[in-house]
Structure 1
Amino acid sequence: MYSNLLTYPLRLGTLALALSMGTSAVALAQAAQSEGLPPAERSYQPFWAKRVTGYLKAADGTELRYSVLLPKAEGKFPVLVRYSGYDSGSIGGAAYLGDNETFSVTTDKQLVEQGYAVMGVQARGTGCSQGTFDFLGPQYGTDGRDAIEFAASQSWSDGNIGMFGWSWAGMSQLMTAEEQPKHLKAIAPGMVLGDARGDSWAPGGVPNQEFTTTWHWFVDQRWEAVKASANAENDERCLKQVAENQGKVVATSLMYNMIRHPLRDEWVQQRSAPRDRAARIKVPVLSMQAWQDEAVMAREGYYQERLDPKQLWMVQASGGHNLYESERFRKKLVAFLDHFVKGQSNGFEKTPRVEVWQETVAENREGRHGANETAHPTWTIERDSFPIKPKAVTFALSENGQLIENGKGSGAPDGYNYPIPGPEVNTFLKDHAWGPQHPIWREGSLAYTSAPLTRDLLTYGTASADIWLTTFLSPDADLQVTVTEVRPDGQEVFVQRGWLRMSARKLDEARSTPLRPWLLDTPDAIQPMLPNVPALGRMEIPPFSHAFRKGSKLRIWIDAPSRTGGYGFNYFSITSRNSVVHDDAHPSQLVLGELTGIAVPSALPACDTLLKQPCRPDPLK
Structure 2
Amino acid sequence: MPEHAHLPLHSSMAGRQYAGWTPRAAAFEGMGQRMLPDQAISVSDGAVLHADVYLPQSEGRYPAVLSFAAYSTERLTAGIPAGSNEIGSPPVFTDRGYAPVIVERRGMGRSTGEQVVFFDPQDIDDHEAAIAWAAEQPWCTGEVVLFGTSYYGMTQPMVAARRPPALRAFFANEICTDLYRQLVYFGGVPALHFLDVWMGANFTQKEYDERISPDRRAAISQATNGPLHGLVEKVVHHNVDRMFAAFMAATPVEAVREVYASWLFDAKSREANLVPVGAEGTLGDIDVPFVVVQNLGYFNLHQFGSYDLVENAGTAEDSKWLILAPPAYDLPVYSWQGEALAFFDHVLRGTDNGYAEQPHVRYWLDGPDQFESATAFPAADAASLRLHLGSGGADAQRHQLSADPTASGSNSWAAVPIGLPVLGGLDEVANQQLTFEWPVTSQTRLAGAVTANLSFSCNEIDSYVLARLSRIDAEGRRHHLSMGAIRPAARTVDDQRSTAIEIAIDSGRRTPLIPGECVTLRFSLTPAPTLLQPGDALRLDIASRTDLLRMSPADGYAQFDLPVPPYLSRNTLHYGGASWIELGHSTPLGA
- Quick check: TM above 0.5? yes
For the pair 1:331 / 2:338, whether they are aligned, the reply is: yes
Aligned match of 1:365: none
Q: 1:123 aligns with which of 85, 89, 105?
A: 105
Distance in 2, matches of 1:593 and 1:107, equals: 37
1:462 aligns with 2:449: yes
Q: Residue 70 of structure 1 is aligned with which of 43, 46, 55?
A: 55
SS at 1:502 equivalent: coil
User: Secondary structure, in 3 states, of the residue corresponding to 1:355?
Assistant: strand
Q: Confirm whether residue 114 of structure 1 aligns to residue 96 of structure 2.
A: yes
Which AA in structure 2 matches 1:174?
P
- Paired amino acid for 2:78: L
Hey, what does 1:398 align to over in structure 2? 390
Residues 125 and 561 (structure 1), Cα distance of their counterparts in 2 relative to 1, 3 Å cut: farther
> Any idea what SS the aligned residue of 1:314 has?
strand
Q: What is the DSSP-based 3-state SS (H/G/I as helix, E as strand, rest coil) of the residue aligned with 2:369? A: strand
1:527 aligns with 2:511: yes
**1:124 Cα shift?**
2.1
- Aligned-residue sequence identity (percent) comes to 20
Shifted more, 156-165 versus 408-417: the winner is 408-417
Separation (CA, whole Å) in 1 of partners of 2:285 and 2:76: 37
1:209 CA drift (Å)? 1.0
Q: 2:372 aligns with which of 381, 384, 402?
A: 381
Q: Alpha carbons of 1:124 and 1:252: their partners in 2 closer, same or farther (altered >3 Å)? A: farther
- Structure 2 unaligned blocks of 5 or more: 11-30, 217-250, 393-397, 551-557
The residue matched to 1:394 in structure 2 has which SS?
strand
Q: Could you tell me which residue of structure 1 aligns to residue 555 of structure 2?
A: none
Residue 301 (structure 2) aligned to one of 285, 296, 321: 296
2:256 corresponding residue in structure 1: 250
Q: Classify 1:346/1:323 alpha carbon distance in 2 versus 1 (closer, same or farther; 3 Å).
A: farther
What is the distance in 1 between the residues matched to 2:171 and 2:371?
20
TM-score (norm 1): 0.74
Per the alignment, do residues 420 and 68 of structure 1 end up closer, same or farther by CA in structure 2, a change over 3 Å counting? same
Q: Aligned match of 1:261 in 261, 267, 270?
A: 267
Higher relative contact order by CA 8 Å / sep ≥ 6: 1 or 2? 2
The one of 411, 414, 418 aligned to 1:414:
411
Amino acid of the structure 2 residue aligned with 1:145: E
Q: Distance in 1 between matches of 2:500 and 2:138?
A: 55
What does 1:208-607 correspond to in 2, within 5 Å?
208-220=191-203, 224=207, 227-229=210-212, 247-254=253-260, 256-268=262-274, 271-293=276-298, 296-300=301-305, 302-307=308-313, 308=315, 309-322=317-330, 325=333, 329-359=336-366, 378-385=369-376, 387-389=378-380, 390-400=382-392, 401-419=398-416, 440=427, 443-472=430-459, 474-508=460-494, 516-522=502-508, 525-563=509-547, 564=550, 565-583=558-576, 587-596=578-587
- Structure 2 residue identity aligned to 1:316: L
* Counterpart code for 1:356: Y
Relative distance call for 1:455 and 1:337 in structure 2 (3 A) is same
Provide the C-alpha distance between the structure 2 equivalents of 1:356 and 1:208, rounded to a whole number of angstroms: 27
CA deviation vs aligned residue, 1:502-530 (integer Å, no higher than 9, x gap): 011122357768974332333xx321100
Q: Do the aligned partners of residues 323 and 103 (structure 1) sit closer, same or farther apart at CA in structure 2, a change above 3 Å counting?
A: closer
Alpha carbons 2:457, 2:571 under 8 Å: kept: yes
Alignment deviations for residues 532-588 of structure 1 (CA, whole Å, 9 cap, x no partner): 11111112212221222221111111111224444221224321222111125xx11
On the 8 A contact 1:78/1:342 being kept in 2, the answer is no
Question: 1: distance between equivalents of 2:35 and 2:338?
Answer: 25
Distance 1:80 1:23 in 2: 19
Distance 1:407 1:515, change over 3 A: farther
Report Cα offsets for 1:49-79 as digits up to 9, x if no partner: 3324222122343211111011111211111
CA distance in 2, matches of 1:461, 1:499: 18
Deviation at 1:343, TM superposition (A): 4.4
Give the TM-score taking structure 2 as reference length.
0.78
How many residues matched? 509
> 1:170 maps to what in 2?
153
Counterpart contact for 1:297–1:542, Cα < 8 Å: no
Residue identity opposite 1:166 in structure 2:
T
Q: Deviation string for 1:117-142 (max 9, x for gaps)?
A: 11101112322222214211112222
